[in-house]
């Protein structure tokens, strides 16, 4: 009997030990590049909502597009004992030391939308730059198969900006070579910034005039900046302008028939799905088993999930945005 009692005590101790090591609640830090990045705010809020439903604590910070501040915030989160960092990086290069230190501490690192370079980490959640370029260019070419084009790309030091412009250039090249399209100007825009985009377009107009048929702007702030500049010159009528992000002011402009299209990243779906991936990684799932592709970042092949997005025009606002609960007609009209 004493032997049986001792045996059961050992079993109970082992079960207690195992249960203590099966952690169910974790602390996650979401590091947004800036509180002005409306898309990442929305997606981050949904991500946090789902993570909290799954029993985790979430801390959200925003770096106001300051890479030094983002590093400081990251180390503060490490000092608070986070188990995972989800990073929308201000600068994919300067954030690398934080990533390396986090990994040494056993903290999971997930790059969100923007690739982190020259550091090994756990997971990369992003869109599909080739598909975005296709949506931009197909739209432009359908509406204006000939004419004068301007391309306002993203930041050349953000892999998304670099890749996106590469794909746009590749799609447009045969049309340019055939003489159907005259590319007045194509450039990267530092920080994907509205004011810098406005400056570039004004310089283009001063050099080549207002006879512009298409402005492929690679995000919504730049699209709105392009529209504002063209309105200053009373040259916005019938210009096809593209954007990305489905920001409310741009959606309102699409509805009015000013900006032609934007690309919508379903914020609730992206936030919830990313939260579920983070939960699985925290619970011990191998990132490679969750990935749909890999991305080489100069240091390692990073397990990657690419989420698709949707083109929004005046014709499908209700189907895509209203029914999804992103906006109401009262917001848009």
Chain segment 105-128, per-residue pLDDT in tens: 999 999 999 999 999 999 999 999
pLDDT per residue over 165-190, tens digit each? 999 999 999 999 999 999 999 999 99
Indicate whether 203 and 215 sit together in one domain. yes
Q: How many residues does the chain have?
A: 333
Q: Which residue is it, tokens 């991305």?
A: 295
Mean pLDDT of the chain: 93
Distance CA 259, CA 191 (A): 21
**pLDDT of amino acid 22:** 52
Clarify whether residues 87 and 110 are in a common domain: yes
Tell me the DSSP string of 252-291: HHHHHTSS-BEEE--HHHHHHHHHHHHHHHHTT--HHHH-
Say whether both 244 and 151 belong to one domain.
yes
How many domains does the structure of the chain reveal?
A: 2
Query: Contact 223/263 with Cβ under 8 angstroms?
Result: no
Question: Is 6 domain-assigned?
Answer: no
Q: Which residue has the tokens 């298409």?
A: 214
Shared-domain flag, residues 205 and 136: yes
pLDDT in tens, 262-317: 999 999 999 999 999 999 999 999 999 999 999 999 999 999 999 989 999 999 99
C-alpha–C-alpha distance, residues 116 and 188, integer Å: 19
Largest CA distance in the chain: 98
Instruction: Mark whether 84 and 94 lie in a shared domain.
Output: yes
Q: If pLDDT is split at 50, 70 and 90, which confidence band does 99 have?
A: very high
Does residue 66 sit within a domain? yes
Give the C-alpha separation, 230 to 68, whole Å.
Answer: 35
Q: What's the CATH number where 160 sits?
A: 3.40.50.2300
Residue 1 counted as domain residue: no
- Whole-angstrom Cα distance, residue 254 to residue 264? 12
Residue of 240, 246, 245, 209 whose CA lies nearest to 226: 240
**Same domain membership, residue 226 and residue 102:** no
Within-domain flag for 256: yes
- Each residue's pLDDT tens digit, 3-18: 544 544 444 444 444 4
- Residues 39 and 186 grouped into a single domain: no
Is 147's pLDDT higher than 50? yes
In this prediction, residue 226 has a pLDDT band, given cuts at 50, 70 and 90, of very high
With 0-12 / 13-18 / 19 or more C-beta atoms within 10 angstroms meaning exposed / middle / buried, residue 80 is exposed
Residues 281-313, buried b or exposed e (16+ Cβ, 10 A)? bbeeeebeebbeeebebeeeebbbbbbebbbbe
Are both 103 and 34 inside the same structural domain? yes
The CA-based dihedral angle spanning residues 271, 276, 278, 282, taken in that order and rounded to the nearest 10 degrees: 160
Residue 315 falls inside a structural domain: no
10 Å Cβ neighbour count for 216? 26
Closest CA to 109 of 78, 128, 86: 86
Name residue, tokens 């299209």: 261
Give the containing element (helix H, strand E) for 312. strand 310-312
Judge whether 109 and 115 are in contact, CB under 8 Å: no
Residues 138 and 258 in one domain: yes
Q: Residue 60 domain-assigned?
A: yes
Are 303 and 122 in contact by the 8 Å Cβ rule? The answer is yes
> Do residues 32 and 51 share a domain?
yes
Structural domain span for residue 237? 129-264
Q: Do 148 and 256 reside in the same domain of the chain?
A: yes
Q: Does 158 lie in the same domain as 246?
A: yes
Q: Which residues contact 36 (CB under 8 A, 6 or more apart)?
A: 64, 65
| Domain termination site, one of 236, 264, 292 | 264
Q: Whose structure tokens read 């040494």?
A: 104
Give the single-character DSSP code of 257: T
For residue 10, is it within any domain? no
Residue where one domain finishes, among candidates 240, 264, 288: 264
- Buried b vs exposed e over 259-268: b needs ≥16 C-beta within 10 Å? bbbbbbbbbb
CA quadruple 332, 35, 150, 132: dihedral sign: negative
Spatial separation of the C-alpha atoms in residues 194 and 219, rounded to whole Å: 9
How is residue 32 written in tokens?
Answer: 């947004």
């Amino acid at each position: 009997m004493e032997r049986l009692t001792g045996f059961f005590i050992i079993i109970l101790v082992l079960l207690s030990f195992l249960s203590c090591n099966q952690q169910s609640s974790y602390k996650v830090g979401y590091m947004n590049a800036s509180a002005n990045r409306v898309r990442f705010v929305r997606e981050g809020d949904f991500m946090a909502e789902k993570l909290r439903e799954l029993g985790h604590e979430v801390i959200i910070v925003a770096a106001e597009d300051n890479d030094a501040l983002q590093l400081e915030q990251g180390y503060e989160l490490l000092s608070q004992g986070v188990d995972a960092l989800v990073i929308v990086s201000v600068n994919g290069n300067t954030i690398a030391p934080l990533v390396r230190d986090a990994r040494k501490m056993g903290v999971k690192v997930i790059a969100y939308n923007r690739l982190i370079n020259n550091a090994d980490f756990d997971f990369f959640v992003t869109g599909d730059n080739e598909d975005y370029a296709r949506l931009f260019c197909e739209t432009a070419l359908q509406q204006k198969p000939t004419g004068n084009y301007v391309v306002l790309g993203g930041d050349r030091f953000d892999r998304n900006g670099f890749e996106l412009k590469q794909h746009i250039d590749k799609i447009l090249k045969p049309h340019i070579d055939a003489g159907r399209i005259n590319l007045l100007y194509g450039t990267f825009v530092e920080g994907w910034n509205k004011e810098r985009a406005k400056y570039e377009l004004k310089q283009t107009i001063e050099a080549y005039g207002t006879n512009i048929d298409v402005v492929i702007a690679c995000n919504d702030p730049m699209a709105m900046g392009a529209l504002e500049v063209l309105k200053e010159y009373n040259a916005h009528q019938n210009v096809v302008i593209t954007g990305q992000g489905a920001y409310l002011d741009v959606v309102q402009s699409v509805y009015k028939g000013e900006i032609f299209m934007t690309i919508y990243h379903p914020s609730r779906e992206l936030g919830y799905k990313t939260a579920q991936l983070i939960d699985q990684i925290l619970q011990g799932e191998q990132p490679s088993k969750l990935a749909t592709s890999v991305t080489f970042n100069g240091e390692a092949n990073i397990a990657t999930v690419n989420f698709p997005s949707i083109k929004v025009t005046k014709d499908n606002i209700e189907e895509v945005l209203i029914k999804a609960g992103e906006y109401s007609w009262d917001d848009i009209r």
